[in-house]
Chain A
Amino acid sequence: MTDDTGRIDRVRELLMRALDDELDSAQHDEFERLLSDNPELREEWNHLSRLKEVTANMKLRNPPEEMWDGYWTSVYSRFERGLAWILVSVGAIVFGSWGAWAVVRDLMADNDLPTFVKWGMLALIVGLVMLLVSVLRHRLFVSKSDPYKEIER
């Protein structure tokens, strides 16, 4: 079984090297021998050679030349924008938290507001904080060590 697997791997390796012109002379002789002894391999070789002819005639399409001129500027804008987003987010979090705190403090100090509404508000705030902490913890720790994250769903 292991010998068979090893032999199949060897034949495939020679087949690939022959297609890509990466055979040395000893490998070339070995491959020629295998081809003449094995009609199935010869057929596979012809099949893959036709594919090679097709792909050898194709190349990756060049983008418009102007793209290269503006490439660095676009990259630079991206990390500049990244920094701007961080600043905006930090500012928004600080400002939003302060605003929320001011609103909650005023509502809690309001003697006209029924007690059950105050308790409800407290529950809402605690719940939101717990959700935030849970999401952040997942992002920071769990997804980093998830062994299945590369698996396609």
Chain B
Amino acid sequence: MNRVKAESERERDDGRTAEAILVRRVRAGDTAAFGELVSIYMQRCYYAALGMVGSPQDAEDLSQDAFARAFKARARLDPERPFYPWLYQILRRLCYNFTRDTSSRRRKLERAGGWLVAEATVRASVDDPERIRATEELRDRLETAIRELPPAQREVFVLKEFEGLKYREIAELLDVPIGTVMSRLYAARQRLAARLEGIE
């Protein structure tokens, strides 16, 4: 057990060292090194944006914009610290600005939706249309309810439920105490449970 733990810690340290080397190269303006960081974190960044804005098209746009801004601000990168939390701060600011920008609210609402998928729909047999329809309806209701959460609650809820992060990881990523993570999560779940009352 201890050996497994030691091995995973060693792997994590190796990963951090490799990342620190990449970050140093990025600071020197090396675009190829930045390309490697993009390959490592693009999926995580995309899914985080998707959870925050609820539209695949906008999530792609915002996550790419976050990388582009990160490269522009590379002088502020610290090789001693992990890259993703720094990138995430850029991304969440972009997503917050995007969601609070009322000028294109109608367009955003039209594009939002279809960002969650029910695993049961994938598994359900094609000759069970009733079940598929019910699951899709439930998914639509959940998507709408999540979209209506305050951004800070929505962010914590998505990181926990769909990205599967531990409380400690969420707290580190958002730079808030674990207690704040839990209270936001509790508030989000209360609201969602109320919105989905009566579901089977």
What is A's interface to B at a CB cutoff of 8 Å?
9, 12-13, 15-17, 19-20, 22, 47-48, 50-51, 54-63, 67-68, 71-72, 74-76, 78-79, 82, 150, 152-153
The reply to whether A76 and B193 contact each other, CB–CB distance below 8 Å, is no
B181 shortest CB reach to chain A, Å: 9
**B residues engaging A (CB < 8 A)?**
31, 35, 38-39, 42-43, 46-47, 50-51, 56, 60, 64-65, 67-68, 71-72, 96, 100, 102, 114-120, 135, 138-139, 142, 151, 160-163, 166-167, 179, 182-183, 185-186, 189-190, 192-193, 196, 199
Q: Give how many A-B residue pairs fall within 8 Å (CB-CB).
A: 104
Alpha-carbon separation in the docked complex, A49 to B142 (Å)? 15
Interface residue SS majority, chain A: helix
A60 and B100 contact, CB distance less than 8 A = no
B35: shortest Cβ distance to chain A, in Å? 5
Contact between chains at B193 and A50 (CB < 8 Å): yes
SS class, residues of chain B in contact with chain A = helix
Interface residue from B68, B189, B190 paired with A79 (Cβ < 8 Å): B68
Contact A59 B68 (CB under 8 A): no
B190 vs chain A, min Cβ distance (A): 8
Nearest to B168 among chain A residues (CB) is: A22
Q: A68-B42, A75-B38 are in contact. Are A58 and B72 (CB under 8 A)?
A: no
